[in-house]
Amino acid sequence: MKILNFGSLNLDHVYQMPHFVSAKETITALDYHTQVGGKGLNQSIALANAGLHVYHAGKIGKDGHQLKMFLQDHGVNTSFVFESEKASGHAIIQVVNGQNCIIVYGGANRDIEEKMIDQVFDSFDEGDLLLLQNEINLLDILLKRAHQKKMRIILNPSPIDETLLSAPIELCDRLILNEVEGMALASCESKNYEDIIHALANQFPHVEIVLTCGEKGAWAYQEGNYFYQEAYPVTVVDTTCAGDTFTGFYISACIQGHAIQRALQIACKAASFSVQKNGAADSIPLWDAVMRK
C-alpha cells in the first residue's frame, strides 16, 4: 500500500503576541520567526516521523525550495511536488499563551490543476491511501478521482469553507477533525463533544470518524461503536501542530495494526509531545520517542 498526501506547503510567519489582534487595533509583537508549515506538509512530516513512507503531492512557488528540501530531509518522497508561477502559500500565525490564531494565504496551493491530479494518480492504485486537507483547490475532484480508483480516503476537513461543505465527503473512509469542524459538518449547535460525534455518526454512518478535543482528549466512531481517550496533561507551549501530529500518528498506528483505542492513545500522546515545543513541523516527535513513554 502506498501513502499519498495531496496537500499544502506553506511558509509560516509566526508572531508571539500579548493578545490576539482586535479590529482597528495595532499592537507590537513580542517575537517573530519564520518556519515551514501548511497542514499538508505538517501531516506528511508526522506520517514520516511515525514510521511511514509517504509521497507528498502539491505545488510551491519559486520561493519554496526550502519546503521541498525540508520534506526530503525528513524522508518524504517529493516526486509529485511541482512548481507554480504563483508565490508559495503562507500563513500568519499569532501565538498567545500557547494558543494560536491563523490566517492562511493559498498561493501555489490553490494552483492545482486536473491534469496534475491525473499525472499523480497514474502512480497509485486500488487500496492505496490518500490523505487530504482543505488548503488546496479541487478537493471535490480529488475525492471523486480517488474514489474511482478505489483508493482509501482520509480527510482532515480544515479549514471549513463553502467549497468543503459542498464536497462529496461521504466518499471518505475516515474523517479526522476537531470540534469546530465537526459542528459545522454535522450542523450541530451543541458544543458538547459527545453530541458532536453522535451528530457526525448520524450524518456519515459509514465513515470512521475521529474527533479531536484538545485538552479534553479524542473520540472515535466506527460501525456503531464509540471510543474515547483522555488527553495527557502537560505544560502547553504552542498548539500549532498538535492536530497534524495527532493525524499522522493515528494513521500510522492504524496502518501498523493497532486497534482504534490504542491508536487514539498513541495519537494523543504524540500530540502532547508536540504542544510542549514551539513551532510547527519541528515540534513533531519521532515514533520511538512516543512509544518509549
Tell me which amino acid residue 293 is.
Answer: K
As given in the structure block, the three cell numbers for residue 77 are 518522497
Nearest CA to 154 out of 60, 272, 54, 232 is that of 54
pLDDT, residue 182, reads 97
pLDDT, residue 99, reads 87
Give yes or no for a cis peptide into 205 (omega within 30° of 0).
no
- Tell me the percentage of the chain whose pLDDT exceeds 90: 91
Sign of CA dihedral 10, 15, 19, 21: negative
Q: At what angle do helices 65-73 and 39-49 cross, to 10 degrees?
A: 20
141 pLDDT more than 90: yes
pLDDT digits over 180-197, tens only?
999 999 999 999 999 999
Asked if 292 contacts 273 with a C-beta cutoff of 8 angstroms, the reply is no
Asked if 203 contacts 186 with a C-beta cutoff of 8 angstroms, the reply is yes
Radius of gyration (Cα) for the chain, nearest Å? Answer: 18
pLDDT, residue 103, reads 86
Q: Which long-range contacts (CB under 8 A, 24 or more apart) does 173-177 make?
A: 173/207, 173/208, 174/207, 174/208, 174/209, 174/210, 175/200, 175/204, 175/207, 175/208, 175/209, 175/210, 176/210, 176/212, 176/246, 176/247, 176/250, 176/251, 177/209, 177/210, 177/211, 177/212
Q: Once rounded to an integer, what is the mean pLDDT over residues 77-102?
A: 93
pLDDT digits over 143-166, tens only?
999 999 999 999 999 999 999 999
State the DSSP code for 164: H
pTM of the model: 0.92
Four-point Cα dihedral 126, 55, 160, 287, nearest 10: 110
Mean pLDDT computed over every residue of the chain: 96
Q: Once rounded to an integer, what is the mean pLDDT over residues 127-145?
A: 98
